[in-house]
Structure 1
């Protein structure tokens, strides 16, 4: 007979994974495990291994050390909806479906954050930012670097799920995904436009941003790149 004392530990591992993705039904969670090879005949060790991998990618609680993260995470919230990238250096806050420039700021601390609870970030200036109810935590990179050294030669077809934030020396901000959102501060209001792109001819801090549009048209040159940040992917 298998040791019955193992059962509470196994069920606790299932609970933690489910708490990290509470929108899933339990049968859906079991189906996801089956797709990972944990089905009829699998052992408890196999189950625990795959549950640990799932919990690492989507934890139910944001891992904090001294009220800060040591990895890079994407946080989804509701009420209002935000997509928040947080890493050891900064937060980047976006509003899905809203053509507003992403907010980028240094932070001092994060309050304990669990899926289903509030997300509160205290800025370096000591201001509490309440960013809604946390609905999902996704690990992006467990050993991140502060900035990206270069995106020279990046092609849109190779972009995948990655999203980058480019800040230029003329204070223009660009959000690079499968499109290119350009934000410029006008005299009275923020100017926003969305452009298509095929590749980045040059995209390295200290050098002009040069973008090749689709169809082989003339390249578009912007001001010099100040900084490249990972937002997703």
Structure 2
């Protein structure tokens, strides 16, 4: 039992032990709960926020969000790719295929090796969150999606002109020029068209961008 508490707490080391048990209370654990019920809920907390990123042959089989400090990053990792962002910094998300993830433990350094052998050191890992246990490589369409239905989801839309759209409650369009990165932020209410092979069209204004190449899940 104590080992199960330790594992669940390691995944959320920034909360107090009292807060951890308050979280369990919100999941129905109370005076009448059995040890088996408590172990089950602790295991679920550990699954959602593991203290160590589950790896098979140095890769993941699910989709996770990795948050780091010093410097801060939000890193999405799944069986196909890495998507790295700098919160609060206006910069285009980095997307690359990866070869390996070194042992990733909360409180330790996050080091990822790209498919071409380059090591990326992305700070000290502060939290791991399971986003999807059975992810797909990409999204087939977001046609008709409305902003108010987004929730906390974040998508990266890669366009055929090699520009990118980071879509959340706002829309950020990144286009690399010869000497600088051009970034445009705008509000949006609905995606009229967002399907690979078709022009990316946004309301209000019916703004057309280049054709969509790929739609990637960043957070969901």
Write the mapping of 1:142-153 to structure 2, written as runs, cut at 5 A: 142-153=133-144
Match of 1:6 in 2: none
Number of aligned residue pairs: 220
Deviation at 1:42, TM superposition (A): 1.1
Write the mapping of 1:14-53 to structure 2, written as runs, cut at 5 A: 14-53=5-44
Match of 2:195 in 1: 204
- Unaligned runs of at least 5 residues, structure 2: none
How many angstroms apart in 1 are the aligned matches of 2:178 and 2:100? 34
**Cα deviation 1:150-194 (Å, max 9, x = unaligned):** 001100000001000001011110000000011111232101111
Greater Rg by CA: 1
Match of 2:145 in 1: 154
How many angstroms apart in 2 are the aligned matches of 1:106 and 1:186? 23
Is residue 222 from structure 1 mapped to residue 209 from structure 2 by the alignment?
yes
**Cα deviation 1:185-222 (Å, max 9, x = unaligned):** 12321011111000000100000001012xxxx31011
How many angstroms apart in 1 are the aligned matches of 2:186 and 2:174? 11
**Cα deviation 1:31-71 (Å, max 9, x = unaligned):** 11111110112111110111111111000000000000000
Write the mapping of 1:172-183 to structure 2, written as runs, cut at 5 A: 172-183=163-174
The normalised TM-score by structure 2 is: 0.99
How many angstroms apart in 2 are the aligned matches of 1:112 and 1:172? 33
The normalised TM-score by structure 1 is: 0.93
Deviation at 1:19, TM superposition (A): 0.3
Which runs of at least 4 in structure 1 moved beyond 6 Å after TM superposition? none
Counterpart secondary structure, 2:213: strand
Match of 2:185 in 1: 194
Query: Residue 111 of structure 1: which of 102, 127, 132 is its match?
Result: 102
How many angstroms apart in 1 are the aligned matches of 2:46 and 2:99? 26
How many angstroms apart in 2 are the aligned matches of 1:229 and 1:22? 30
Is residue 73 from structure 1 mapped to residue 69 from structure 2 by the alignment?
no
Over the aligned positions, Cα root-mean-square deviation in angstroms equals 0.7
Counterpart secondary structure, 2:4: helix
How many angstroms apart in 2 are the aligned matches of 1:220 and 1:67? 42
How many angstroms apart in 1 are the aligned matches of 2:184 and 2:4? 46
